[in-house]
Chains A and B, each alone.
Chain A
């Protein structure tokens, strides 16, 4: 029987613009914070394995071998260290690899740290770098970008299910309301439905990015990092950490076609469905047991589609739940209480760890007033690599 794996330390930096700092320092900042949270910096000497999540430091920062740099920067040699890259799901993949390291018996304590400094380049360059994960010949070369694909899929969804631009704005209003209360959030600013959808200036204030997606349907370009300390809860080392572990109950991942147009139905995110089914199965629970979720909303359409694929809502109905405030903090099933990628920000390689950081905070009851989910038992995170073609679902449990 595989050992139980728990999270005993969490760290996060304020998301936003860290372009004045070196990527390795940015990631190390959160790693230090995680050790501090777990009981002290000396605990870093107990680590058996470091796993770093990052998407494209070679392109954004002209830095490679970031995991090796991190252990050295943190005075953790000769601890083993590897970098995991899975596009914008690098963070969740790093957690999965950390889990596997403990489950395999090769490690009892793992530091998982992830981050990205994207604003080292201009927004135009960042859009281009992120687009390199699309199919080179059939997508990237065409000039297509992630917002472009998200725009095309949003239009299909609107045609089929009657979603409106106002519905997209309602998701943003909810996410920004949460993000405004999150001290780690990039954009700590509530937005109003009148300003971004209903009012006379809305069309200009909330300008189109990739029609029908607008600025407030799209995540900002963000720098930042987050870190977790994973332990084998059944090993003696677990007692070294003062925080009660939050258990990793389930992890599932799956892939889908690289080329978006080759999906039978581009409105079906097969990898999300399969990855969440696998995570539910491992956790021994179902969608009804989930208290709240952090869903990868690089574009707000993803929050809606993800919430359907993981079984929270029937296909084509998630936006009705948003209209009914069911996914608000006080609603039946809060989604993206952190503000999500939309408001908290999306430092691509760091996002997966940031999502799980939020799950731990919520399950510990440590979220800020006004955005703490009431008495949560299970939290779920869905992290996307590519355009939904490499997805990791993580479920944490408060035992």
Chain B
């Protein structure tokens, strides 16, 4: 039977991962658990729980990049590294006016971006 849900409007998400055997959290996905050596088979993800990584986070550091790579026809973009309440960290873009500040509370969401050739990719936006 066709899975008709694939035709709906999808909200993009970026996943965090939990090893079900020992509970260790990961982002991005590992192929083996560093704590209990459980392997992850990316075709089934059996033994691993996938969850949406988003919401409140704290800014660890940031930069404003003025010489962006090919495809990004913008004067500059802000980037940052954040930490979520569960201890996971992520890097992504920041959207705000003015300068961010280390330690500020932000909210992470996921967008689809297509600056580069090829399929659109999922990008964290912290705002």
Contact = CB atoms under 8 A, between A and B. Distances in A.
Interface of A: 122-125, 127-128, 131, 135, 137-139, 141-145, 147-148, 151-153, 155-156, 159, 207-213, 259-262, 266
- The main secondary structure of chain B at its interface with chain A is strand
A123 B66 CA distance: 13
Interface in B33-89: 60-72, 77, 79-81, 89
Interface of B: 27-28, 60-72, 77, 79-81, 89-93, 102, 113, 115-116, 121-124
A210 B70 CA distance: 16
Contact of B62 (A135, A155, A262): A155
Contacts, number: 104
Contact of B28 (A128, A131, A137): A137
A211 B94 CA distance: 14
Contacts of B69: 124-125, 127-128, 131, 143, 145
Given A127-B69, A143-B93, A152 B123 contact: no
Nearest to B71: A128
B77 A143 contact: yes
A204 to B, nearest CB: 12
25 contacts: A131-B69, A137-B122, A138-B90, A139-B91, A141-B113, A142-B79, A143-B68, A143-B69, A143-B72, A143-B115, A143-B123, A151-B79, A153-B61, A155-B61, A155-B63, A155-B102, A156-B60, A159-B61, A208-B66, A210-B63, A210-B67, A211-B64, A211-B65, A260-B81, A261-B89
A157 to B, nearest CB: 10
Contact of B102 (A123, A159, A212, A213): A159
B80 to A, nearest CB: 7
B63 A142 contact: no
A260 B79 CA distance: 13
A207 B76 CA distance: 13
Contacts of B102: 155-156, 159
A128 B115 CA distance: 12
Contacts of B90: 138, 261
Contacts of A260: 81, 91
The 8 tightest CB contacts between A and B, nearest first, are: A151-B63, A128-B69, A141-B121, A124-B70, A261-B89, A138-B28, A152-B61, A127-B69
A143 B71 CA distance: 10
B70 A152 contact: no
Contact of B66 (A125, A128, A135, A210): A210
Nearest to B103: A159
Given A125-B70, A128-B70, A210-B67, A266 B81 contact: yes
Contacts of A209: 65-67
B17 to A, nearest CB: 12
A209 B70 CA distance: 15
A142 B123 contact: yes
Contacts of A144: 79, 91
A158 B92 CA distance: 21
Nearest to A137: B28
A143 B113 contact: yes
A210 B64 contact: yes
- Which residue of B61, B63, B89 has the most chain A CB atoms within 10 A of its CB atom? B63
Contacts of B72: 143
B126 to A, nearest CB: 11
B70 A142 contact: no
Contact of B122 (A131, A141, A211): A141
A125 B71 CA distance: 9
A148 B63 contact: yes
Given A138-B28, A139-B91, A260-B91, A122 B70 contact: yes
Given A152-B63, A266-B60, 14 more contacts: A124-B70, A141-B122, A142-B91, A143-B93, A147-B67, A148-B65, A152-B61, A152-B62, A152-B80, A156-B60, A208-B64, A209-B65, A211-B63, A261-B81
